[in-house]
Amino acid sequence: MFDGLKNIGAMASLMKDLPKMQARMQEVRDSLAEIRVTGASVDGLVEVIAGGDLKIHNVQISEAGGADSFLQERVREAVNAALVAAQAEAHARLSEVAAEMGLPTPSAGQLPGMGQLPGMDM
């Protein structure tokens, strides 16, 4: 009997803190846009710069790899398209699980109460 009351108290505390949690999530989301990381092929011919917004910002192909700006732009576009497709599939699976659990189904790129996820421009 008292366990149920403890759960209600915990839920009330969580709901009270929801605006604070949402504000903190927004701060984190905003800071993700500033992140830049670099990945390179083992042979060093290709280098990719990605951001915390889950977008590819630059692709550099060395001269030895036949670099030209057209090719670099096509690779960047292809990688970003693949990331969008992966995010859409992840959203579909999360929505399916949410529906099974009787939870609200988030719209594309959304988590309930937390807004748009980075990189989800659908």
The 10s digit of each residue's pLDDT in 49-81 is 988 888 888 888 887 756 677 788 888 888 888
Residue 102, in any domain of the structure: yes
Residue 1, in any domain of the structure: no
Residue 96, in any domain of the structure: yes
Q: Read out DSSP for 34-51?
A: T-EEEEE-TTSSEEEEEE
Exposed e or buried b for every residue in 50-88, given b needs 16+ CB within 10 A?
A: bbbbbbbeebbbeeeeeeeeeebeebbeeebeebbeebe
Instruction: Provide the residue range defining the domain that includes 92.
Output: 33-116
Mean local confidence (pLDDT), 85-94? 81
Distance CA 84, CA 56 (A): 11
Q: What is the pLDDT of residue 42?
A: 82
Banded model confidence at residue 113, pLDDT cuts 50, 70, 90: very low
Taking the complete model, does pTM exceed 0.75, yes or no? no
Structurally, how many domains does the chain consist of?
1
Residue 106, in any domain of the structure: yes
